Structures are given as C-alpha cells and as structure tokens.
Structure 1
Amino acid sequence: MSATKLYILDTNVLLHDPKCLYEFKEQDVAIPMTVLEELDDIKDRKKNVAQEARYAIKAIDDILSTATSPSQITKGVQIPLPGKGREERLGKLSIFPDHELTARPGFLTSNKKDNLIINCALHLQSTTTHREVILVTKDINMRLKALGAGLEQVEDYRTDQLVSDIDLLPAGHTHLDGTFWEKVDQVKSIQKDGHTYHHVDKSLIPEAYISEYIFDDTKDFAARVVAINDNEIILLDLGYEHLMQQSCWGISPINIFQAFAMQSVLDPNIDLAILNGAAGSGKTLIALASALEMVIEDKRYNKIIVTRSTPPVAEDIGFLPGTEEEKMTPWMSAINDNLEAMHENDERPLSSVKYTIEKANIQFKSLNFIRGRSIQDAVVIIDEAQNLTPSQLKTILTRSGKGTKMICLGNLAQIDSNYLTPLTSGLTYIVERFKGFDGAANVHFEGIFRSRLAEYAEENL
C-alpha cells in the first residue's frame, strides 16, 4: 500500500522528539536539506538542544544507512519499526534537496531557513499530486506564514501529548465539600514511625491517585494519599494546622497550596516535587526556603544546585565574561530576588545573602553541566521547567543520584520556546507521567501574592 500523505518536518519537530520519525505510521516523511544544515549547526554548539540534535541525526542515519545509492535517499528509504526486524516497515524517509530550488512566483523571497523550508513544502505541494503534502512544525508563526504563502495543510506535532486539554492536568490536590470525617463510615487508623495513617473506603475518593493531597472545608483535615488497593485508600494524616505552621528559613505558607508544596519538598520520601502555578504564587520562594532549611539547618544535603531553561543561553553563555557561575548570574536573578526578600529585614541584607549562598553551597549551573553527570546528596531546583522538552527533562531527572531531591518549578502560561505549547511542554509531560508514583508529588499553586498589580495582570491580561 502506497502512502497517501507526505509529511515535511521542520527542525524544531526533530529537536522536540528525536524519535518522531517512527510516529507517522505508514505515511512518508521528507526532511529538507535546510533542516539537516540546521541540525548540523546546532549539534556542535553549546546549546541546550545540542544533544537532541545529535539524537535526531543518529535516528536519520540509522534509517538511511540501508540506502544503496544517493538517488534512493532522494526517493525514500523504508522506515523499520523500532526494535523490529527489517521486514516490518512504516512509511519511507527521504531527504529533499531544497537547496536546488530556484526562486519562482509564490515562493517566499528571504533566505531565512524557515522560508526555505516553506518553499520546499510549496514546491512538493505543486509537484506531488497523488499525495497530501503536510508541513509539520512547532513554530506557530511559521505555521501562519506557510498558510499565508498558500500551503494547504500545516500541522503542529502532537503525537507526544499526554492530555488533550491543559485543564485536565492533575492539580495534585482535591478539595472535598463539607467535613471529611462525616462521610466516613469505617476507618482503621494506624500509628507508625510517628505518623498516623487512615485506611478508608476507596468509594470516598474514587478518583484519588498516589501522592495526591486531600483537604476539606473544616481547615482541620488534610492528608496525602500514600497507597491505593482494590477496596481502600491509605491516607497519611498531615493536619491542616500543622501544615500551615510549617516554617523554613523564616518563611511560612500563606495558603494551603503553599503548605502542600512545602510539605512535599521537606518530606524525605518524596524525591521529586513538581510545583507549578502562576507568576507570583510563591513557587520559587517556597522551594528555596525549604532547600535552605534542609541544607543549612537539617544538614540532609550538601548543596543546592539551581538550573533553568535559559533561551537563548545556548548562544549567549559562551560569550558572557567570567566563570560559569558568573555567566549564569543574569539568568538566576529570580533566585537572588527571593534571597534578598528573605533577608530584607536583616541589618546588612547583601552580606546575609552572600553568607547564605556560601553556607548552603548554592551553585548556578547551565543545563550542559547537568548532562552526563550523576548528582549526589544535593537539592536540585529546576526553574522555568515549562520551557524544557520532555526529552530535556528526562535527561535532567535521570541524573539524580543517591540522596538527591529534585524540585521542578514552572508556569505553563509563560512558555518562551517557539516550539512548545502548554500541552507539549516537558512540565506537562512529567506531571502526567509521575501521577501515581509514590516518590513524586505535584502541587498546583493557587493565589498570587506578589502584589495587587501582579494578581490583576495575571487574571486580566
């Protein structure tokens, strides 16, 4: 059966998911030469997507290595099912020599790489009459330009979406109307290691999942789901007032959502705390205050490593003066701002901040530092995680060694990447993938405490 569709891939699709070549089923895939040039340009430079570029190039090479001649690469090479024998096949992969195209009416005139890829799609649309030609790109503006130039079909790459609507993303907590204990007919409570666990009927909270926080209207009951079996749910009793009375480095939670977040970071049984929510909701402050408490006061960890997605740090960091720490300083102003806020009432605030950074051994690292390392006995704060792809976040999380706590911070409303959306962000990906893992907790922050102006702007702009 011959393919009825020809998908033309933009560079950002291959960077977003280097395995995307295997996701188009029996349909054919074409990669313009311009895309290969972009991948080649990225792979050897200190960009935070350099490794993805190398993965994509290797995936292309694995498929095209079976070609017996250059003409076969242009016509198309069968894509084998990954992990299967060569006799089972998907569509065909080809490289289109778009550098040979000459300007003609309808083509975009600029030599920008996006325009060259669009021109390639326009050419194939006009010359390939027996198949639908579809340009696939994560770049919203490129999709608009392609449609405006006359391309009939342009799509986003959404194969890796785990949820169809961002509103369906788990919040990490559930509010129960009324009083929780009035709904309970039977309960078995057990004391263990200084904690109270309640075994209740599963029908009370049928949609509950592991590590979800539960609270009611009484401002008395609050718990976290620690186990679920066929008939019952086991809840770790946290106590509403106890949660609200937590204090780390002089910072106490303002609302129950910040309290849940602080508990998840401080809990030694939670290896990954995912804190997401609007700007000004307190994510960075809670994470940093808790990290300082665990490193300096409790001495549970030896250092704090702070990293973040820094577009366009890929290009800029190499040209900034100084050491890696000094180069990362402009990107870490949010951490410094929060440190200054914590010490604003000190007699010498700047000296206090400097002392805290040294005492807690706070290290600002680029994503390139994280790759290939095994991080031991550290708290790792991943700021602006919404700008990371699923592949990039996987790379960071798999660096976690013995005795390391990972904290992911992000706001899905503030994505800077031109090929990520709230539905395909790595932050969304890990929230959904780690749902139900007892070593991870996700807390969506509600409420904005930065200022009246910030709250109004978040809600109305």
Structure 2
Amino acid sequence: MIKNFVLDTNVLIHDPASIFSFGDNNVILPITVIEELDGLKKFHDERGKSARSASRRIDGLRKRGSLVKGVQSREGGTVKVLIGAGEKLPDSFASKADNTILSFALHLNKTEGGVVFISKDINMRIKAQVLGLETEDYETMKVNFSELYNGWRQIDVSAEMINKFYSDGVITPEGEFMENEYLIMKNSADPKQTALARFKKDKAVKLLQPKTMLWGVKPLNVQQTFAIESLLDDKIKLVAFIGIAGTGKTLLALAGGLSKVFDDNVYRKLLISRPVIAMGKDIGYLPGTKEEKLAPWMRAIYDNLEFLVSASGKGDMGGEDIESQVDWLFSSGKIEVEALTYIRGRSIPKQFMIVDEAQNLTPHELKTIVSRAGEDTKIVLTGDPYQIDNPYLDASSNGLTYIIERFKGQEVFSSMTFVKSERSPLARLAAELL
C-alpha cells in the first residue's frame, strides 16, 4: 500500500536529501515547509546550508514537472507540495507554522488517508498522535546505539597464545574482529596475565606506542592507551572518541595534536572546533571580533591547553606564566580555533583537526566536515552521545555515532569508547548520577 509521508521542516534540515528516502511512496511537503526553508536559507550556518541544499533538490524536481500534481523521483516515489487550506485544529492549538503543517497533514489524512507524519521534533510527534495521525521519527540515518561498535573488546586466550604474542609480536586469535579494533587479551586460566593488541590485516599485533606520554599526559587506563595509539598512527586518518565527562577524550586529542604539530612536525597546523549549539549556531550577529565571539564558547579548550602546557613542562615558549605560553602557541600560527560555521567550504590540507562535542552535529553536517579533509589531514571527533544539546538529535541519530557505524572496519578509521572517568570522585559521581 502506497503511503503519504508528510515531512516536517526539521527533517529536511537534518537530511536535505530526505525527500528521496521513502522508496515508491508519496512524499508530501506542506507549503509551510517551503516557507520555513525560505526563512532559514539566509543563515550562514549549517541550518542555512541545509535549507539551501534541500531547496535546490526540490527545485530540481520542479524543473521536471508540477510539484502540485506530483513529480516522480528516481527512487520510484512521488514528491508533492501541498497547498490550499488545512484542517481546522482545536482551539487549544496556537496559530503558528508548526501547527499549520499539522493541519495540512490532518486534512490529507481525512481526504486521502495513509498519512504518516515524519518529524525530528518530539513534541510535534506527540501533537500529531493526539490529532489521530500515525507519526514517526526520521529513521534513515539512525543507528542502534545499544549495539554501537566500541573500538575495543576483551577476549580470553591461552597462556601459550600470550607467550607467543610477547615473543613474536603477532598472533592470529579466534573470532571475527574489525580492522584497527583493540584487544585486551587475558589468560583464561590466569586473568592476571594479559596483553594489549591491535587487530590489523587479520592478525593481532603489538601496539606501536605502548604507554607513551603526550605533553605530560600519561594514559591512566587501557582505553586511553589505545586512544594514544590511534592518535599517533599517521595511517589512521579519522578517529572517533566517545565517553562521558572526565574520561580524557578531549585532553588526549589535544595532546596528540600538539605532539604531532609541534614535536613531530607531521602536520602544519592544529585546527580545533566545536558546534555552536549553545550560542544559537549563527554567531555572526554577536558583537566583537571573531576571536571575542569564540572566547567563551572555547573556554574549555583553552583550559585544557593551559593544563597541557603546565603538565608538559614546556617552559621555553615565550613567557613565564602559563597564559603567556598558551598565547605563544597561538601566535606561532600553528594552532587555530575556529567555529564550524567558518570551516564550511574550506579545504583542510595537512592539518590535525579536532571536532569537539561532535554529538551535536547531524550526520549530514559531519559528512560535510569529513569530506573537506585535504591531503594528509587527520580528523579526531570527540563527544558524549548522552549529552546532546541539539533538540532534534539523540544518541542514535547524531553524526558521531553515525560516522562510527559507517566507518567501522575501515583501514583509515579507529574508534574508542572510554568507560572510566579519571576526574575526582565527586566529578565522576556527578557524571554518572546527574
């Protein structure tokens, strides 16, 4: 049975190509959705970019036929723009664009039936169901978070296997593993006998960088040890770190970047960025220079840099106090802190790029960032899928988990899920309980 999928505006912002994701069914866009896209297209942020991208796709269909009558997509479905009057809603529903979209969906359901209302907005889905509509989240880019690839696992092996691993540096363990998956191998008869390995080309091999200290930071657990291995291996071009506050994911990423840029000179610049969700995304209207606008938003990054400069003992950086030394890092031209808004459209060659709080990005946004990586660039994504500020994302639909699911097993990719907070007992409890 052919269904009528009515899309909310936020679905097209989440995935501008979403109109092509419903097979041979009808995709319905209330004219209010077009109006909202028109209002969003002016913004110089990812919302504006997505709105313009969605509009271009709709315009491409317009050139092939009447959107009011319906234009067939290459996927076999039909895309229509719905105009006219919607169904009258109960008086308790305010007069606003969201409810106008619902009124169109309700009217279509009464006249044609088979309507499924698709929205990334929880409250819109609630209201749709209250009105008697079948409603769903946009599932196309979702992953099963409970089964998300961890990047590491613990396996039981024999004492002979561990001894052989230490003598030869390589073994072939039983089971199926991902490329660049990290292994904690334990003697099944004596759990105290262990070995750490990385799975490469069908074999478990020794770590290249065991217990390496980066800018004064020493790994405090096995996940941090594995993370350092991924940061220092230049053949790994994309790294993803997941963990709650205090697990060290951002600190280690910064330490790895500083080491590769300032110590090894592998990359010409360390580029650090975060989504600007908390600042309303488009920072162009805020007063001050770009640096002044970014300062409060990047404070956590500066705090980590101050810690690393202090812990590393690198005191020859043009100043006696820590703040002066951090200023020297930036004045060297080898560190750049940038809003993702300004990175869009740039090519990023030979840089070590860190995207912090990546769980607040959509799959489409992260795809845009990763696809901008130039020759010899490494990208490190960090985030906590349990702490999402974007109202239209959750642990299963954000860009960070999507990237991990899509890239797992690739030779250029490594992922690590941190399980232990290394902050104070109080901070650790706060992260777990609050």
Query: TM-score normalized by structure 2?
Result: 0.90
Q: In structure 1, give the amino acid aligned to 2:73.
A: I
- Whether 2:238 is the aligned partner of 1:272: answer yes
Give how far 1:186 is off: 7.9
Q: Aligned AA for 2:16?
A: P
Give the alignment partner of residue 261 of structure 2, picking from 266, 274, 295: 295
User: Is residue 171 of structure 1 aligned with residue 150 of structure 2?
Assistant: yes
Q: Is the 8 A contact 2:86 2:106 kept in 1?
A: no
Equivalenced residue count is 422
Measured after TM superposition, the shift of residue 136 of structure 1 is: 0.1
Q: How does 1:20-99 map to 2 (within 5 A)?
A: 20-67=18-65, 72-81=66-75, 90-97=76-83
Counterpart contact for 1:377–1:403, Cα < 8 Å: yes
2:329 to 350, 356, 361: 356
| Cα distance change on mapping 1:79 and 1:450 into 2, 3 Å | same
Instruction: Output the CA distance in 2 between the equivalents of 1:395 and 1:105.
Output: 39
Confirm or deny: 8 A CA contact 1:118 1:146 kept in the other structure: yes
Distance 1:276 1:26 in 2: 37
Q: 1:444 corresponds to which residue?
A: 417
Query: In structure 2, what is the equivalent of residue 138 of structure 1?
Result: 120
CA distance in 2, matches of 1:318, 1:261: 35
Letter in 1 for 2:80: S
Instruction: Find the residue that maps to 2:27 and give its secondary structure.
Output: strand
380, 400, 414: which one aligns with 1:407 = 380
Matches within 5 A, 1:248-267: 248-267=214-233
Task: Output the amino acid matched with 1:4.
Answer: I
* Aligned partners of 1:294 and 1:301 also within 8 Å: yes
User: Structure 1 residues 280, 112: closer, same or farther in 2, change over 3 A?
Assistant: farther
**Which amino acid counterpart does residue 368 of structure 1 have in structure 2?**
T
- Is the Cα contact below 8 Å between 2:185 and 2:197 reproduced in 1? no
SS of equivalent to 1:450? coil
Conserved 8 A contact 1:296-1:359: no
Identical positions, percent:
39
Q: Please state how far the C-alpha of 1:107 moved relative to its aligned partner.
A: 5.8
Q: For 1:288-367, list aligned pairs within 5 A.
A: 288-311=254-277, 313=279, 315-343=281-309, 348-359=321-332, 361-367=334-340
Change (3 A) 1:450 1:442: same
Out of 111, 117, 141, which is 2:101 matched to?
A: 117
* 1:434–1:332 Cα change, 3 Å: same
**Following the alignment from structure 2 to structure 1, what is the Cα–Cα distance between the partners of residues 160 and 23?**
53
**1:212 counterpart = 2:181:** yes
Instruction: Sort the Cα spacing of 1:289 and 1:186 in 2 relative to 1 into closer, same or farther, 3 A.
Output: closer
**TM-score computed with the length of structure 1 as normaliser:** 0.85
Q: CA deviation at 1:428?
A: 1.1
Give 1:436 shift.
Answer: 1.1
SS in structure 2 opposite 1:74? coil
Q: Deviations over 1:101-159 (max 9, x none)?
A: 48x3526542332222122222223333xx221110011122123223x1331100102
Corresponding residue to 1:154 among 135, 157, 164: 135
Aligned CA distance change for structure 1 residues 184 and 306 (closer, same or farther; 3 Å): closer
Query: Could you tell me how far apart the structure 2 residues matched to 1:107 and 1:6 are?
Result: 26
* Bigger Cα displacement from structure 2, 307-316 vs 260-269: 307-316
Deviates more, 1:340-349 or 1:216-225: 340-349
What one-letter code is carried by the residue in structure 2 that aligns with 1:352? Q
User: How far is the alpha carbon of 1:272 from its aligned partner?
Assistant: 1.1
